[in-house]
């Protein structure tokens, strides 16, 4: 279950960083089978120059892309599944353009990027992966026909350009990236977004299984975020007035619900804001299992 929570964090993280630069579909459902793409990104025609601040991640997002992040080292079967998703997307796109009697432009076909902390030479070799000449060390490409690549996070150089991908690494690699993150200017837009997501991640883990919260990285990030947030409140820099832990918790939960269901009824928002801290924590756990908006309404009706 903890791995699932980390997977959700990775999807939310990529979505947050890329949302100002293109259309995000996360998850993107493939109609032919019950398959979901973690993050389907389509860049805006007129690109925001701030995308350069994302370094390597921004470079990967200059063209349509499918991002499939993995908490643990990706397996042969998972790579196969990712490629099947990509091929199905290409089939759907070709059909759409064929119906219009036109050929799909090459630049509109997405490129698959599998993001994994580590990967064995055996698996890289079995898929014919080779070091990319377009990107830095740690980025591999598969045969051009597939329009697919693999980012091995722990092989990336420790530079400012790779920090936003190394954040998704593990142990020492992630720890080093976190040190670099915390040293960034307070006004760095992606720093604040990342800290907010780590806070939500920590809260979810604490609710599901408190015994799993042993990573120093997580505790350090949350402590920093809390201090930074308190300072921002004192200086009047936060959006809105965050008064007390109840309101802060409800805002985080509402944010996650909006990501899940896109639109939240104002009456539902009001009900959430009126919940006690204990109920907010219960809702934060329950929303991981919600499949439809009605599940949220039913939960609120039962827990008022």
Mean pLDDT by 10 residues, the chain (304 residues): 65 85 72 71 88 94 94 94 91 83 84 96 95 96 92 97 94 89 82 80 64 54 61 46 52 69 75 77 75 83 80
Q: What burial class does residue 144 get, using C-beta atoms within 10 Å of its C-beta: 0-12 exposed, 13-18 middle, 19+ buried? A: exposed
| Of the candidates 15, 44, 13, the residue with the CA atom closest to the CA atom of residue 27 | 15
Q: What burial class does residue 253 get, using C-beta atoms within 10 Å of its C-beta: 0-12 exposed, 13-18 middle, 19+ buried? A: buried
Residue 27 preceded by cis peptide, ω within 30: yes
**Edge-to-edge, what's the strand order for the sheet holding 130-131?**
22-25, 39-43, 65-69, 111-116, 148-152, 139-141, 130-131
Q: How many CA atoms lie within 13 A of 265 on its CB side?
A: 8
Q: Does the reported pTM lie above 0.75?
A: no
SS3 27: coil
241 sits in the region (left: phi over 0; alpha: psi -120 to 50; else beta) called beta
SS3 184: coil
Note whether 50 and 18 are within 8 A (CB). Answer: no
Q: How many CA atoms lie within 13 A of 12 on its CB side?
A: 22
SS3 256: helix
CA dihedral 220, 55, 18, 231 (to 10 degrees): 40
SS3 17: helix
**pLDDT at residue number 112:** 96
CA distances from 294 to 179, 283, 300 (A): 42, 14, 10
d(CA 88, CA 78): 15
């Amino acid at each position: 279950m903890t791995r699932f929570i980390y997977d959700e964090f990775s999807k939310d993280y990529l979505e947050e960083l890329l949302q100002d630069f293109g259309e995000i579909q996360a998850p993107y459902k493939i109609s032919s089978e019950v398959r979901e793409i973690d993050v389907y990104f389509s860049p805006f025609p007129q690109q925001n120059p701030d995308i350069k601040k994302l370094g390597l991640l921004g470079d990967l997002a200059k063209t349509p892309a499918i991002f499939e992040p993995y908490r643990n080292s990706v397996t042969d079967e998972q790579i196969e599944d990712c490629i099947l998703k990509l091929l199905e997307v290409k089939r759907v796109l070709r059909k759409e353009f064929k119906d219009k009697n036109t050929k799909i432009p090459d630049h509109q076909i997405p490129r698959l990027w599998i993001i994994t902390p580590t990967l064995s030479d055996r698996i890289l070799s079995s898929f014919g992966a080779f070091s990319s000449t377009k990107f830095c060390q740690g980025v591999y490409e598969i045969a051009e026909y597939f329009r697919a690549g693999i980012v091995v996070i722990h092989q990336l150089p420790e530079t400012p350009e790779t920090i936003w991908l190394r954040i998704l690494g593990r142990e020492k690699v992630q720890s080093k990236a976190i040190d670099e993150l915390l040293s960034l200017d307070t006004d760095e837009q992606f720093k604040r977004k990342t800290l907010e997501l780590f806070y939500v991640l920590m809260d979810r883990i604490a609710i599901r299984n408190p015994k799993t919260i042993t990573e120093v990285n997580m505790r350090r990030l949350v402590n920093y975020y809390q201090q930074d947030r308190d300072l921002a409140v004192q200086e009047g820099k936060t959006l809105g007035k965050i008064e007390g832990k109840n309101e802060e918790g409800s805002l985080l939960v509402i944010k996650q619900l909006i990501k899940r269901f896109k639109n939240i009824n104002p009456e539902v928002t009001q009900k959430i804001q009126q919940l006690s801290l204990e109920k907010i924590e219960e809702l934060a756990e329950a929303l991981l299992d919600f499949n439809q908006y009605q599940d949220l309404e039913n939960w609120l009706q039962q827990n008022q």
